[in-house]
Structure 1
Protein backbone atom coordinates (compact mmCIF):
# COMPACT_ATOMS: atom_id res chain seq x y z
CA UNK A 1 0.00 0.00 0.00
CA UNK A 2 0.90 3.67 -0.13
CA UNK A 3 3.75 4.86 2.09
CA UNK A 4 3.36 8.55 1.19
CA UNK A 5 2.43 11.13 3.79
CA UNK A 6 -0.35 12.09 3.44
CA UNK A 7 -1.44 8.80 1.87
CA UNK A 8 -2.51 8.76 -1.76
CA UNK A 9 -6.21 8.26 -2.56
CA UNK A 10 -7.26 4.63 -2.92
CA UNK A 11 -8.06 3.12 -6.30
CA UNK A 12 -11.79 3.35 -5.52
CA UNK A 13 -11.72 7.00 -4.40
CA UNK A 14 -13.24 9.62 -6.72
CA UNK A 15 -9.89 11.46 -6.77
CA UNK A 16 -7.83 8.31 -7.50
CA UNK A 17 -5.93 10.11 -10.30
CA UNK A 18 -4.28 12.33 -7.66
CA UNK A 19 -2.11 9.41 -6.48
CA UNK A 20 1.60 9.70 -7.19
CA UNK A 21 3.02 7.97 -10.27
CA UNK A 22 5.43 5.14 -9.53
CA UNK A 23 6.13 4.22 -13.17
CA UNK A 24 5.73 6.38 -16.26
CA UNK A 25 6.05 5.14 -19.84
CA UNK A 26 5.20 8.09 -22.12
CA UNK A 27 6.40 6.21 -25.19
CA UNK A 28 3.72 3.58 -24.45
CA UNK A 29 1.12 6.08 -23.25
CA UNK A 30 0.59 5.00 -19.64
CA UNK A 31 1.49 5.65 -16.02
CA UNK A 32 1.13 3.40 -12.97
CA UNK A 33 -0.05 5.22 -9.87
CA UNK A 34 0.82 4.39 -6.27
CA UNK A 35 -2.71 3.07 -5.70
CA UNK A 36 -2.35 0.47 -8.49
CA UNK A 37 -4.36 2.36 -11.11
CA UNK A 38 -3.01 2.38 -14.68
CA UNK A 39 -3.78 5.74 -16.30
CA UNK A 40 -3.57 6.01 -20.07
CA UNK A 41 -2.82 9.15 -22.06
CA UNK A 42 -6.36 9.15 -23.48
CA UNK A 43 -7.58 9.50 -19.82
CA UNK A 44 -8.86 5.93 -19.68
CA UNK A 45 -7.96 3.86 -16.61
CA UNK A 46 -7.51 0.24 -15.62
CA UNK A 47 -8.30 -0.34 -11.95
CA UNK A 48 -6.46 -2.95 -9.86
CA UNK A 49 -9.55 -5.20 -9.79
CA UNK A 50 -9.60 -5.29 -13.62
CA UNK A 51 -12.43 -2.81 -14.14
CA UNK A 52 -12.05 -0.36 -17.01
CA UNK A 53 -12.83 3.34 -16.74
CA UNK A 54 -13.59 4.82 -20.15
CA UNK A 55 -11.68 7.91 -21.28
CA UNK A 56 -13.18 11.03 -19.73
CA UNK A 57 -11.70 14.03 -21.46
CA UNK A 58 -13.55 17.29 -20.90
CA UNK A 59 -15.94 18.27 -23.64
CA UNK A 60 -14.80 21.06 -25.94
CA UNK A 61 -16.47 24.39 -25.32
CA UNK A 62 -18.10 26.11 -28.24
CA UNK A 63 -17.67 29.84 -28.66
CA UNK A 64 -20.53 31.98 -29.89
CA UNK A 65 -23.23 29.34 -29.64
CA UNK A 66 -26.74 30.58 -30.36
CA UNK A 67 -28.88 31.24 -27.30
Structure 2
Protein backbone atom coordinates (compact mmCIF):
# COMPACT_ATOMS: atom_id res chain seq x y z
CA UNK A 1 0.00 0.00 0.00
CA UNK A 2 2.89 2.39 0.81
CA UNK A 3 4.75 4.02 -2.06
CA UNK A 4 7.02 6.23 0.07
CA UNK A 5 10.81 6.01 0.04
CA UNK A 6 11.87 4.65 2.44
CA UNK A 7 8.75 2.57 2.86
CA UNK A 8 6.61 3.07 5.94
CA UNK A 9 6.52 0.31 8.55
CA UNK A 10 4.11 -2.55 7.94
CA UNK A 11 1.01 -2.84 10.10
CA UNK A 12 2.71 -5.91 11.61
CA UNK A 13 5.73 -3.92 12.84
CA UNK A 14 5.92 -2.55 16.38
CA UNK A 15 6.51 0.96 15.01
CA UNK A 16 3.41 0.84 12.75
CA UNK A 17 2.20 4.21 14.09
CA UNK A 18 5.19 5.88 12.36
CA UNK A 19 3.54 5.38 8.94
CA UNK A 20 2.35 8.49 7.10
CA UNK A 21 -1.20 9.75 7.44
CA UNK A 22 -3.12 9.45 4.17
CA UNK A 23 -6.51 10.58 5.46
CA UNK A 24 -7.10 12.61 8.61
CA UNK A 25 -10.49 13.05 10.27
CA UNK A 26 -9.83 14.91 13.53
CA UNK A 27 -13.49 15.87 13.80
CA UNK A 28 -14.30 12.17 14.03
CA UNK A 29 -11.23 11.21 16.06
CA UNK A 30 -9.34 8.97 13.63
CA UNK A 31 -6.72 8.88 10.89
CA UNK A 32 -5.88 6.33 8.20
CA UNK A 33 -2.19 5.51 7.85
CA UNK A 34 -0.61 4.38 4.57
CA UNK A 35 -0.04 0.89 6.01
CA UNK A 36 -3.80 0.46 6.41
CA UNK A 37 -3.95 1.10 10.16
CA UNK A 38 -6.83 3.22 11.47
CA UNK A 39 -5.39 5.18 14.37
CA UNK A 40 -7.86 6.63 16.88
CA UNK A 41 -7.30 9.73 19.02
CA UNK A 42 -7.49 7.62 22.19
CA UNK A 43 -4.42 5.68 20.84
CA UNK A 44 -6.47 2.60 19.97
CA UNK A 45 -5.92 1.02 16.57
CA UNK A 46 -7.79 -1.06 14.03
CA UNK A 47 -5.42 -3.15 11.91
CA UNK A 48 -6.09 -4.13 8.28
CA UNK A 49 -6.45 -7.78 9.27
CA UNK A 50 -9.35 -6.85 11.60
CA UNK A 51 -7.33 -7.06 14.82
CA UNK A 52 -7.98 -4.41 17.46
CA UNK A 53 -5.24 -2.80 19.56
CA UNK A 54 -6.58 -1.38 22.81
CA UNK A 55 -5.72 2.22 23.72
CA UNK A 56 -2.23 2.40 25.17
CA UNK A 57 -1.90 5.75 26.83
CA UNK A 58 1.13 6.23 29.05
CA UNK A 59 0.37 5.59 32.69
CA UNK A 60 1.08 8.32 35.19
CA UNK A 61 2.97 7.00 38.17
CA UNK A 62 2.26 8.40 41.63
CA UNK A 63 5.10 10.46 43.04
Same fold by TM (over 0.5)?
yes
Structure 1 residue ranges without an equivalent (≥5) = none
Name the TM-score, length of structure 1 as normaliser.
Answer: 0.91
CA-CA distance at 1:19 after TM superposition: 0.1
| Pairs aligned (count) | 63
Q: Name 1:32's counterpart in structure 2.
A: 32
CA-CA distance at 1:61 after TM superposition: 2.5
CA distance in 2, matches of 1:21, 1:60: 28
Name the TM-score, length of structure 2 as normaliser.
Answer: 0.96
Describe how 1:1-67 pairs up with structure 2 within 5 A. Answer: 1-63=1-63
CA distance in 2, matches of 1:32, 1:60: 28
Structure 2 residue ranges without an equivalent (≥5) = none
Structure number, greater radius of gyration: 1
Question: Hey, which bits of structure 1, 4+ residues long, moved more than 3 A?
Answer: none
